[in-house]
Structures are given as C-alpha cells and as structure tokens.
Structure 1
Amino acid sequence: MPDIDTEAPDVPVLSSLHTTTLPLPPSCIAFVPRSRQWFVVGTYFLERGEEAEGQKRSGSLVLARLGEGEGRDVTITATHSTPFAIFDLHFSPHETTAITSSTSHLLGLASSTGSVALYAIDPASPTAPIRHIRTLQLFPTTSLFTYFSWHPTIPLLAAAALADGRVVLCDCSGNADDDEVDSRSRRIVTLHAHALEAWVTAFAPDGSALFSGGDDAALKGGEQEEEGEEEEEDGDGAPQFSPPWQWQDARTHGAGVTFILPLPQPYSPPTTTAPAPPLPPPDLLLTGSYDESLRLLSPPARNGLGPRRSRVLAEIELGGGVWRIDVVDSSMAGPVVQGGDKEATAEAEWILLVSCMHAGTRVLQAEGEWEWTWQFDVLARFEEHQSMNYGSAVQPLRAGEAKKKRTVVSTSFYDRLVCVWEF
C-alpha cells in the first residue's frame, strides 16, 4: 500500500464570486447537458417535530442560470416541489426523445419514497422548463433510494442503491402516459446487498461491470453476463442477471464507501506475441469514503486472471468525508514503445473536483503511469461553506474554449448555500 499523502499547508484557498441562499437544503447538482449556463439542484428537507418512524421528507427541483461576466450571478428560473426528498439526480447519457422532446433532456431523481422520478428539463421552454414525465414506484414508500446511475450503453436501464443495503438493477421504461407505474409492472433485479446502507453504484465505462459501496466499508463488484444471457426472463418478467465475477473488498476503507468513479482504460499494451489467455485490461476506480480519504484502486482482475485483491495505487487524506468526485479534465499519452525492449508505458493525468462534506471542496490532480506509480496533489481549496458540501459541479467549456480558468458551482446543506468560484 502506498504512503498516505496529506494536502500541503500552502495550497491556495479560493474565494467566491457570488453566493445565493436556497429555500431548502441542496443535496445534489448537475449542469444541463450541452449547456454551460443552466444547472439543476435537488433539495432535501426533513420535517421536524415528528417521531422518527413517521418523519416526512420533501424536496424540490431547482433550475438556475449561471450568469457570464465577472459577477457570475445565479438566477433561479424555475422551482418544482416534490412530495419526496431528492437524494441524487443524473441526466441520461442517451437520446431519449421518445419520452422527452427534441429540445429537452431526461433527468432521473432518486427519492426518499422508494421511487425513481423522471423529468424533462428544457431551459428554453417558457411554460414548462421542468416537466414531470412519470414516477416509478419501485419499492414501498418507506424505502429510501440513496443513489442511482444510468447504464452507459443501454437506455433507461439503471442501477440503484437503497438505504436497506440492497443494490438493484431496474428498467425505467414504461408507458409514457402513466403518471404512477406500479412496481409489479417493473423489471427489478436485486444483485447483492450490503450489511448497512448502500451509498453508491457505478457502471464501468463500457457497461460491462457494476461496482457498489456501502456504510459497511465494503466495495463490491460484479461483471455482466455475455450479451444475450442477461435478456432471459423469469416468470415475473424480470431479467436474469447473475454476474459470474463477484467480489468484495472490506479491508481497504476505514469507514463507509460513499462514492465510486471508474476511470476509462486508455490503451491496450502492445505485444510481440499474442498472450494466451489474454489478460483483461485493468479497471481503475476512484473511491470516496467517510474516513476522509480519496483513493485510486485497482480492483480484483476479472475472470480470475491477475490479482484477486484490490490494490491501492494512491491515497490522500482531505480532512472531510469524500462524498462526490467529478472529472474536470484528463489527458493521456501512450503507449510508448521504448527502443528494442518493447516496453509500453502510458501516462495519464486527471483534474478532479471533490466534495468533502464539512471540509468544503478540493481541486486535485491525479497523475501517474497506468496501473503503476500514481500520486495525488491538491491544487486548490474552497472553504466558505459552513456545513456539508454534498454537491459541486464544474461549468462546461464553450466549444474550442481554452482550458485556462474553470468555474465551479458548489453547494452546502444546512446553510442552504450555493457558491460560484473559479480556479
């Protein structure tokens, strides 16, 4: 295991350009796809004065516009109240005009009432910039969805994490005319379960594997069946999904695993002769944890070819629980064939935006040689938030815009603050 780095004391502390206070606590944030001006914020509100078993959660979906110029002001243009708190939200990476429109974008919400709600977001619409499509009531209303992730290649397929520990695969398609879709008509498969709350799910970039993390400090992984096998159905119409590659790492993290970000594989090493059998390309995972550390891991090799345990390639303490990790930018070079030794190397660099709960937001650089030597360096800190920083997002660049300064919108929960800053 590598030495644990800590951020240098002379790391610059940044200041906000603009701040806004929301009516309800913000829990998650995302920029609208192909837009640099518009972003959405999900909120979470727990009603007070009730018994724990009967506490009611509500929330809202907020559409806001980020101004240009030095002030970078934030203007809230639409607010849609929800009968549930919003734990998580993600825009679909697919073309979804069949259920949205040519100008809107599909947004999925993970709710506090056992449902996934789908919305069409169209900032240009003067009448319905936030339009509810349908709510998929997948579990009883007492269930809590904590996270969900869209499959990168299969439209309307998602993986989700629940507070009871379950990790499920769910089909979010259905009759677009239905407002409430009963769970009996849904295709839901439980893949595995954590001993405590499941906090995150993440597909490999090509959709071939699924990872999850939970409050039991366990990181779990499973590989999808060969194409066609997962399409078989049981008597209830649910797809059969029995990943042959399943493992658990409960030793690496000192507390709950709160986030997983798989990194793309940049290359296949050149060879002079074909290996037999061929080794699969390595998976690399960035993980966040309540133990306040960000890690870069190489998990167990698939199909049993290679290491059978996770390896920590780099680790750094950030002073707060690592709740979310976003890639701001990346660059890769390689492979490089050196002389007659046929030695392949690939150098990679990522710029990361990390939400660190009570410690605020960090901008980091991760760099190294693929699957060998890596290190983290903290480039900047933002610490104006007075409570939990659960969500941060970087403004997309204009087409052809130079990567000089980047603008970030970050949020904090109890003080309901939205901050705009640059690095």
Structure 2
Amino acid sequence: MASLPSLHGLIIDLPPSCIEVWPKSPQYFVVGTYFLEKNDADKTERTNDDLPSTSEDQKRSGSLVLGAVENERITILQTCPTPYAILDLHFSPHDNHSELLIAATSTGSLVVYTLSYPTSTENPATEPQPHPTLTFVKTLQIQHPSTLILSFNWHPMDADIVGVTLSSGEANICNVPSLKDKETTFDENTDQATLTDHPLEAWTLAFTPYGTGLFSGGDDSSLQYRELRSSLISEAGDLHNYVDRNTSSQWLERKLHGAGVTAILPLMEGVTVTGSYDDHVRVVKTPSFGRREVFAEANLGGGVWRLKAIEAPRLTFPGARELTWLILASCMHAGARIVRVTRYEKGKWDIEVVARFEEHKSMNYGSDVLARGGGTGKLILSTSFYDRLICLWRYSPQ
C-alpha cells in the first residue's frame, strides 16, 4: 500500500504533543506543545524527550497553538506560551460547553481556556467573519507540581466530571463544576477520587460510551477497569457516590499486551480498541464481569500512541449485519494509519490498514480529522515531535 502524500505542511516553534479539531467549527484546531530544558551547571542544553520524566533538574515549557485550514493550507492564528508543557487537550463534548477547552500540564494542573468568536461588528452582513480566539480562564491545581498529568478526558454524560491519568500511576476522576467561573477553585481532598492505580506511569484513560465505567492503561502493560454508578453526583456533591467499592466491578488485565497500554477507544459496551508500545492495535472483549480476550489484532509498525474514531459505525452495505468503524491511529515513529475495524455477523472481528501517512520524520503523537464524508474524502491533520511539523493530507475511501 502506497503512502498518501501531504497537501501542505507547516513547522511550528515547539514540538507538538497533541492536537484536536474544534467540533463546533472543524476548520479550526488547537495544538499542545512540549519542550524540555535540561540544566547542566551554568550551561542549558535544550532537548526533547520521548517519555515524561519527573527528574527535578528538568524544566518544561510549552504552548497552545490555534490554527485553521483554509483552501487546503494550514495557517497559525494565535500562540499562547505556557510555563509548563502540554501533554493532552480536549474540547468539551457537551453542547452547552462547546467553547471550553481543557489541557493537561506537566505541573499537576488542568488549564481551562475558551475558544470563541469576537463580538459582532457594526456591519456583520458586509464584513468577513472574524476568526475565533483562545482565552485563558483559570488553572485547576489538582496535583503536586512535580506530578505530570499524562492524559485527560471528559465524562460523556456529566459535564462536571473529568478523568486524568498521572505520572505517579493513578487514574482519577475530578469534580470540576462552574468551569467558566474564574473564581471557582479545586479542592484535591474532596473533589477527586482515585479509581485505578498502576505501579508505573498511567498513560491513558477512557470512559465507556455511557459513562458507566472507566478504563486506564499503564506502562506496566495492564488494562484496568472500574465500574461507575450510572447516576450523577448527589446534591451534596460527594464524588465518591460514583463508586460503590463494595459492589462495583473492577478488574486488571496484564496478559493481553506485550508492552505499555497507551491508547484506549471503546467501540460499544463490552468491546474496546487498544493501542500499545508493542506496535499493535487490538479489539478486546471488555465486559464488566467475565473473561477478557483479544478478538483481533494488527501490527501497525509503530507504537500506537493515540486512537480516534473518524467515522461512526455503519453497515458494510444496506441490509447487512456487519458493522465497520474507521479509526485514525497515531503510531509514533511509524507515522499515521487509518484502520477499518469490522464486526461480522457471527461474532468474528477483523482489522485492516486502509491508508498510511509516512512523511513525518519523528514521533507522531497526535492526529485528528477536519472534514468528513463527501466526494473529496476526509481531510486529516497529523503532527510529528522533533521536526515540529504539522501536515495536512486527505484520505479518500476506495
């Protein structure tokens, strides 16, 4: 299979670690960057590392970069420097919070931004629509500054709940109401609960589709699960009402992955796609109770750092019972892949690589989709770390 060519590429100031397209207006995107400085006596050596470290002699910085794609070209609109590195970021999936963005930092905090359009001009009918701008709202210090927040995700049903994974190994849920209020603070003792715990770095987490459970993956090669109550937080705001530790299901699975678990994408209740440092993507049976097993797996040629669904499940053809998902994989040193996951009528699963993008010369940690469907296919952005590159390319299904 030949690699797809790029339509446009752009070098930014700092190494990109994550990227997400704004769902409200998908021509816009935000990139998080990660820069490491190592001090050696009076000399400062500026380098980048592949994996987070908690060494005290290391200082990290970064930025949030707002960009746009217009006429198949990438344009940088705004850069917000930060005194910490950005390791993950996501826009809110909730309609009433669609302008909210949260980024996970290297100093134990979540930073809240809004992305919004300026107020209307005097002649909105005749003047061009202005671009949106990123605006800082507040910082939520949820861990000690020496702890890195390695990943972050929103609860799919409750806009006040988010999940984080930490360099210390825990996967926690946090109560973060009133995110638009600059004065609202965070109390680590009452607004946070640990659900799973890994002996090494917890690289990633994901809620189940209806928020009734949480998966986490760690450098210990384990996939962990904790069941959550379907009801929301009580009026008293007790976060621990989400978990009944006496009756809720919890499991730890170490046998399915050959290296650290770095990406988790639930497809449906009881079925999850995972990515690992062992270069494999897997479809895994993940029931709340009962045996876990691998339904299908494929070697993508590089560590699978992130997975994103870019097409909703659909029937393979009208009247069929087979379902397919299209997934975008960021494969570290191997570039980006698009894979098709198929569930056949009799319970068999299959993974097929349908496209490759390999123009990146270093670690591909983040990718996302700008445009979906139509005769022109899907426009995709992908990044690479050391060469500080953002590429735009197109996938057109055959």
TM-score (norm 2): 0.86
**2:271 aligned with 1:284, yes or no?**
yes
Larger radius of gyration, structure 1 or 2?
1
1:81-138 alpha-carbon deviations (Å, 9 max, x no partner): 11211000001111345xxxxxx71001111111111110125566971111111001
Change (3 A) 1:418 1:376: same
User: What is the CA deviation profile of residues 175-228 of structure 1, one whole-angstrom value per residue up to 9, with x for unaligned ones?
Assistant: 755468353576111112001000111001111111110000000111112526
Aligned residue identity for 2:39:
G
Match of 2:29 among 17, 22, 39: 39
- The verdict on how the C-alpha distance between 1:232 and 1:256 changes in structure 2, with shifts beyond 3 A counting, is farther
Pair 1:76–1:175, CA change in 2 (3 A): closer
1:361 and 2:336 matched = yes
Code of the residue aligned with 1:296 in structure 2: it is V
Q: Note closer, same or farther for the CA distance 1:327–1:177 as it changes in structure 2 (3 Å cut).
A: closer
1:117 to 111, 119, 132: 111
Instruction: Provide closer, same or farther for how the CA distance between residues 128 and 362 of structure 1 changes in structure 2, counting only shifts above 3 A.
Output: closer
Q: Does 1:416 align with 2:388?
A: yes
CA distance in 1, matches of 2:14, 2:190: 32
Q: Deviations over 1:133-155 (max 9, x none)?
A: 11100111111100011000001
Contact conserved, 1:135 with 1:180, CA < 8 A, in 2? no
**What is the one-letter code of the residue matched to 1:245?**
S
Deviation at 1:331, TM superposition (A): 3.7
Deviation at 1:333, TM superposition (A): 3.8
**What is the distance in 1 between the residues matched to 2:184 and 2:86?**
17
- Structure 2 residue runs of 5 or longer lacking an equivalent are 42-54, 120-129
Q: Residue type of the partner of 2:330?
A: S
Give 2:78's aligned amino acid: A
Q: Which residue pairs with 1:88 in the alignment?
A: 88
Q: In 2, distance between residues paired with 1:330 and 1:178?
A: 36
State the Cα RMSD in Å.
2.5
Q: Which amino acid in structure 2 is aligned with residue 143 of structure 1?
A: T
Alpha-carbon deviations, 1:12-32, whole Å to 9, x = none?
211111110010000001111
What amino acid is aligned across from residue 324 of structure 1 in structure 2?
R
Q: Is the aligned partner of 1:321 residue 2:303?
A: yes
Tell me whether 1:22 sits opposite 2:23 in the alignment: no
Q: Which amino acid aligns with 2:82?
A: T
Aligned to 1:245: 249
Corresponding position: 1:169 with 2:170 = no
Please say if residues 196 and 216 of structure 2, whose CA atoms lie closer than 8 Å, have aligned partners that are also in contact. Answer: no
1:274 — aligned with what? none
Q: CA 1:116–1:50 in structure 2 vs 1: closer, same or farther (change >3 Å)?
A: farther
Q: Structure 1 residues 357, 184: CA separation in 2 closer, same or farther (over 3 Å shift)? A: closer
1:297 maps to which residue?
A: 284
Deviations 1:355-408 (A, max 9, x none): 1000001111111226821111111211111110000111133xxx62541111
Aligned match of 1:393 = 368
| Residue identity in the other structure for 1:56 | K
- For residue 38 of structure 2, give the secondary structure of its aligned residue in structure 1: coil
- For 1:91, give the aligned amino acid: F
Determine if contact 2:84/2:107 at 8 Å carries over to the other structure.
yes
Letter in 2 for 1:17: L
Structure 1 stretch displaced more, 72-81 or 402-411: 402-411
Alpha-carbon distance in 2 for matches of 1:322, 1:394? 17
Counterpart position of 1:79? 79
Which one of 137, 140, 158 corresponds to residue 136 of structure 1? Answer: 140
Structure 1 residue 59 corresponds to structure 2 residue 62:
yes
For residues 237-280 of structure 1, the C-alpha deviation after alignment (integer angstroms, 9 at most, x for no partner) is: 6534335110011000000000100013xxxxxxxxxxxxxxxx
- Match of 2:94, SS state, is coil
Q: Normalization by structure 1: what TM-score?
A: 0.81
Deviation at 1:233?
Answer: 6.3
Shift of 1:232: 8.2
Alignment of 1:201-220 (within 5 A): 201-220=205-224
The secondary structure found in structure 2 opposite 1:239 is: helix
Equivalent position amino acid for 1:415 in 2 = D
Letter in 1 for 2:294: V
Query: 1:130/1:224 Cα in 2 relative to 1: closer, same or farther (>3 Å)?
Result: same
Assess, with a 3 A threshold, how the Cα gap between structure 1 residues 373 and 127 changes in structure 2: closer, same or farther: closer
Residue by residue over 1:399-418, the C-alpha shift from the partner in whole angstroms, topping out at 9 and shown as x without a partner, is: xx625411111000011001
Whole-angstrom CA distance in 2 between matches of 1:409 and 1:127: 19
Q: Secondary structure at the match of 2:56?
A: helix
C-alpha contact (below 8 Å) 1:167/1:190 kept by paired residues: yes
Any idea what SS the aligned residue of 1:372 has? coil
Correspondence 1:143-292 to 2 at 5 A: 143-174=147-178, 176-178=180-182, 181-184=185-188, 187-227=191-231, 231=234, 238-240=239-241, 241-242=243-244, 244-264=248-268, 282-292=269-279
Instruction: Identify if the C-alpha distance between structure 1 residues 121 and 259 changes in structure 2 by more than 3 Å, giving closer, same or farther.
Output: same
Distance in 1, matches of 2:295 and 2:165, equals: 26
Identity of aligned residues (%): 42
